[in-house]
Structure 1
Amino acid sequence: MSAPELQTAADPAPAHDPALSLRREALRGHAAMLAFSAAVSGSFSLGAMVANDITPAALTTARFLLSAIILALLVALVPGSGRLGRRGFTPADFGAPWRYAVLGMLYAGYFVLMFEGLKTANPVAAGAVFTLTPLIAAGFGWLLLRQGLTRSMAAALTVGALGAVWVIFRGDLQALLGFELGLGLGIYFLGVVLHALYAPLLKGFNRGESAMVTIALVSLAGIFVAGAYGWRDLLATDWRALPPLVYVTLAYLVLLATVFSASAMQYAAQRLPASKVMAYTYLTPVWIIIWELSLGNAVPGVIVLPGILLIVGALLILLRED
């Protein structure tokens, strides 16, 4: 037997390449987050189109009610959706229910303020405000959990914030200096602060619950929070007289912006580092522009292009982050 033949016999080619398998799983995680960012972005465009047809409290309460039902069914039926990779709820999931009340208050508050702001705010500018979430969340993370930042993470947050500010103020230095944010964006910014606080508390409050269990119970708490705030709106809403687009939007918010998004993020979080999962937040304004064009709505001019490029640059920096 020749030397090459001896070498082949001694060192057979591996039947399974772990590195290749990990690469494939990472690509699937990126695909999930790409779909996640597109689904979340659609809620801005559709929300702006129906914001004056139904009150934010009524829309948010209905969304949480339907989302809680569907997510509870998924937890009960889908393997791997519960604690320790099992399915179904456990008594431990319901421990310290005040956690879900706090998270539900922040989550419901974010959505109510989002749709309140979209009554007058431009969806693309609102999407740019949303990209400030990682920066604000990093501040809350340091205050509450003493979470630090790597250099590349800090650079990405800075670049992304600069891009967001450019889009929000449309490159107008006078508007920036005068902080001419506009009522709608100002309202939505308060919602973004609530959402940013929600992120570190979600991690700090977790006691082993899966992402699907957590969002199901947070949605359940959100029903009571939003309902307590807007029960008058619920009773006053003539649900049969609402335009069909409101029901299309509600279905979208429940099925894609909540149920699908929670599933996609849970899937991606098992395959990607947290920084890469967070990176896709920065695609929101880009997706919103695509949504606005596809729906035949007006979009900002080329003046916002430098800001969009900065935001995409922040995405690329975070995607390099290990």
Structure 2
Amino acid sequence: MNQKTHRIGAAATASPTVMRRERLLGHLAMLLFSALIAGSFSFGGLAAQHMDAAPLTLWRYLLTVLVMAVLALGMFRAPLVRPVQPWRFLILGGLIAFYMLTMFTALEFTDPVSTGAVFTLMPLLSAGFALLFVGQRTRSGVLTALMIAAVGAIWVIFRGNVEAILSFDIGRGEIIFFTGVTAHAAYVPLIRKFDRGENPVAFGFWVTVASALCLLPIGARELAATDFTALPLSVYVAVAYLAVVTTAITFLLLQFASMRLPAPKVLGYGYLTPSFIILLEGLLGHGWPPASVLAGAIVTACGLVAMARLPD
């Protein structure tokens, strides 16, 4: 019996208590995922001021490959043998690299508020891909809870300004980022579809290697020509955070949760990211938003709590 068959058999015979515990761990993993992603916006903005999207994204993934190798070989003792069906990792790595690249590229044409609004489409897109790729149907109650959370997230993103919401304009940057959001929405259900029982850390290592390979043709020349001595310390701190925290660690959290929760529930936690950004900015002394914006964060949280409590 191979590792995957054993795991499927174990899941099928697991007690309701064990299954509830696994789902709870999946929800907690995504809660931490959202909090860590929130910090990437400030750091990513710092780095994007000094480097173009392609070399910046490639740099972070080259560093992430080293981090994942250390995690695999050092902490988790995961064998990094040549993977079976390596085309799986080229697809996954290409999707996630494309998402990251479009995020930085879109910010050259639009602002974070607009990209945040486009991001709210991801869970619903993921529900469609989950049905297409793995036959995973999303309950109507879960979709309703996601829509409630989306409304709260949009309210937070636009700072409770109804006029700003109504005047939202779909431009070049929004279209670019929408293609990336679509790629990320497909990525989550494909993790489950492409799983062959590999060690999760080894799986993550090969995905990041594939991402770096996909980025080499468009970012290698500019990265090699970069004068690293002229870059401020903030760029090194930003790239380190992006590579270690928002790529390596969040990948492991996403991988962990994707094997325990349906894809729409996994990506639904992305709606909490704007609220975590507000909390982080307040704690850093950058000011707190008006009560109307906090109300949107509460609506998002209520929608996600309702989603978490609904059956898978």
Q: Which residue number corresponds to residue 64 of structure 1? A: 61
Partner of 1:112 in structure 2?
101
Matched, 1:194 2:183: yes
Q: Structure 2: which 5+ residue stretches go unaligned?
A: 1-14
Q: Is the 8 A contact 2:204 2:252 kept in 1?
A: no
Shift of 1:210: 3.4
Q: Distance in 2 between matches of 1:90 and 1:232?
A: 30
1:50–1:246 CA contact under 8 A, matched in 2: yes
Residues 70/287 of structure 1: CA separation in 2 closer, same or farther (3 Å cut): same
Equivalent position of 2:211 in the other structure: 222
What is the aligned partner in structure 2 of residue 207 from structure 1? 196
Provide the rounded CA distance (Å) in 2 between the counterparts of 1:221 and 1:62: 14
Letter paired with 1:88: P
Partner of 1:280: 269
| Aligned partner (choices 214, 221, 224) of residue 235 of structure 1 | 224
| Counterpart in the other structure of 1:133 | 122
Provide the rounded CA distance (Å) in 1 between the counterparts of 2:16 and 2:214. Answer: 46
- Matched residue, 1:89: 80
**In structure 2, distance between residues paired with 1:121 and 1:302:** 27
The structure-2 alpha-carbon separation of the partners of 1:66 and 1:295, relative to structure 1 and needing over 3 Å to count, comes to same
Where does residue 311 of structure 1 map in the other structure? 300
Q: Name the residue aligned to 1:47.
A: 44
1:261 paired with 2:258, answer no
Query: Using the alignment, how far apart are the partners of 2:53 and 2:153 within structure 1?
Result: 25
SS at 1:180 equivalent: coil
- The equivalent position to 1:98 in structure 2, one of 72, 80, 87, is 87
Indicate how the Cα distance of structure 1 residues 28 and 148 shifts in structure 2: closer, same or farther if over 3 A, else same. Answer: closer
Q: Could you report, residue by residue, the CA deviation over 1:12-40 in whole angstroms, capped at 9, with x for unpaired residues?
A: xxxxxx99998887766555443322111
Q: Could you say which residue in structure 2 is the equivalent of 1:3?
A: none
Asked whether the 8 Å contact 1:125–1:285 carries over to 2, the reply is no
Contact 1:45/1:123, CA 8 A, preserved across alignment:
no
| TM superposition shift of 1:302 | 5.2
Which whole-Å CA distance do the structure 1 matches of 2:248 and 2:215 have between them?
18
Deviations 1:86-141 (A, max 9, x none): x21344xx222222222222111111111223456554664454343211111222
Q: Deviations over 1:46-81 (max 9, x none)?
A: 1123212111111111111111122123223344x7
Distance 1:150 1:170 in 2: 30
Cα distance in 2 for residues equivalent to 1:265 and 1:47: 20
Residues in 1 aligned to 2:26 and 2:153: alpha-carbon distance in whole angstroms: 26
Return the index of the structure with the highest Cα Rg: 1
Relative to 1, partners in 2 of residues 1:229 and 1:150: Cα closer, same or farther, differing over 3 Å? same
Cα distance in 2 for residues equivalent to 1:23 and 1:143? 26
Q: Deviations over 1:142-198 (max 9, x none)?
A: 233332111221112222233344445555666555541465454433322221121
Partner of 1:75: 72
1: CA distance, partners of 2:91 / 2:26? 29
Residue identity in the other structure for 2:80: F
CA contact (8 A) 1:124 1:288 kept: no
User: Residues of 1 paired with 2:194 and 2:22: CA distance?
Assistant: 28
- Report % sequence identity: 40
Matched, 1:37 2:28: no
SS in structure 1 at match of 2:137: coil
- The one of 271, 278, 295 equivalent to 1:289 is 278
